[in-house]
Amino acid sequence: MTPNLLVITGPTATGKTALGVALAKEMNGEVVSADSMQIYRGMDVGTAKPTAAEMDGVPHHMLDAADPRENFSTAKYARMAAACVEDIRARGRFPLVVGGTGLYIDGLVRGTDYAAASSDPDTRRAIEAEYDALGGEAFREKLASVDPDRAAALHPRDKKRLVRAWEVYALTGKPISWHDEQSRLAKPRYAAYTVALDFTDRAMLYERIDRRARAMFDAGLVQEVQALLDAGVGPDTTAMQAIGYKEVADYLAGRCTLDQAIDAVCRASRRYAKRQLTWLRSRPDVHWLTWEREPAPADIRAAARDIKKAVFPGPDPT
């Protein structure tokens, strides 16, 4: 089946944005972001949201699509992103989904969610109280006892999705990953070709992650978090659970020093990258692009051309 959607994913700091732009230029395409935090307005520095210069004239969708006070759901993302994809295709251009949030990508590509109807406010409130009592790490360990796949994909501070995963299990007797598998067995909404990025040298990836995290502080991350807090974005919102924002909020509240906050962001980012890679390696449909060195612009352009040939080996579809 000829792909009608191209997905560029992988852990943070692997060059997804640059490759997505290069591919869009090669394929007459537009980018649909699949990042669960870049979707929020006012969260630019800490999410590494692409700048106008980085987008280089390529239209990007699903950035700044939500207020940070809103707990944005995967189902809502899938609906909105699918509308973007259909609009791009209707205009004769090629959609590229770029980002590292696997649940968003699955929701968009698969287009089904057998667990969506399983919800009960009272049950959810009870589970939220249990999360608060246990703490994120212990609650995630509890989830791992019945749903190790979903637990591995979630950060301990991702209260909303951890609670949701346990709610589905409590209401249906089946883990949410089982429901997702039923979705995967159904015919997907899109024929997607998925490329995941990584580095052959894990130390190089971690060094890039640390460098990016420290650069965010130089670029004004503390001021960005303070502005969000001043605007009434509470500590329990999904937005404030993002890596970088929680740690800076702790610093601003006097619970740690600035150096401790920076170190905590670096550690959390490396751990998240490791979980992203673990999740991606469990997927049989992923095509890996592994950098052996820091990719220069010429390397990225060459990779884009190679991917285009792999996706469309015949005559140029654009």
pLDDT tens sequence across 96-135: 999 999 989 988 998 865 555 566 777 888 999 999 999 9
pLDDT at 185 over 80: no
Beta bridge partners of 40: 66
Cβ atoms 171, 194 nearer than 8 A: no
Give the Cα separation of 110 and 187 in Å (integer): 7
Nearest alpha carbon to residue 158 among 146, 140, 145, 141: 140
Q: Quick one: pLDDT at residue 124?
A: 86
User: What percent of the chain lies above the pLDDT cut of 90?
Assistant: 76
Task: Quote the mean pLDDT of the chain.
Answer: 92
Cβ neighbours for 227, distance < 8 A, ≥ 6 positions apart: 42
Output the pTM of the full model: 0.80
Task: DSSP for 129-161, please give it.
Answer: HHHHHH-HHHHHHHHHTT-HHHHHHS-TT-HHH
Q: Quick one: pLDDT at residue 118?
A: 60
In tens, the pLDDT along 261-280 reads 999 999 999 999 999 999 89
For domain 121-181, the CATH architecture is Orthogonal Bundle (1.10)
The domain ranges of the chain are 5-111+188-311, 121-181
Alpha helices in 145-257 (DSSP H): 148-153, 159-172, 176-185, 202-218, 221-230, 245-252
Rounded to 10 degrees, the C-alpha dihedral 249/250/252/255 comes to 170
Give the Cα separation of 151 and 93 in Å (integer): 37
Give the Cα separation of 267 and 270 in Å (integer): 5
In tens, the pLDDT along 210-263 reads 999 999 999 999 999 999 999 999 988 889 989 999 999 999 999 999 999 999
Q: Quick one: pLDDT at residue 316?
A: 57
Q: What is the CATH number of domain 5-111+188-311?
A: 3.40.50.300
pLDDT at 140 over 90: yes
For 258, the 3-state DSSP assignment is helix
Q: Quick one: pLDDT at residue 184?
A: 66
Cβ atoms 196, 34 nearer than 8 A: no
Stretch 164-180: mean pLDDT: 88
202 pLDDT tier (thresholds 50, 70, 90): very high
In tens, the pLDDT along 38-51 reads 999 999 999 999 99
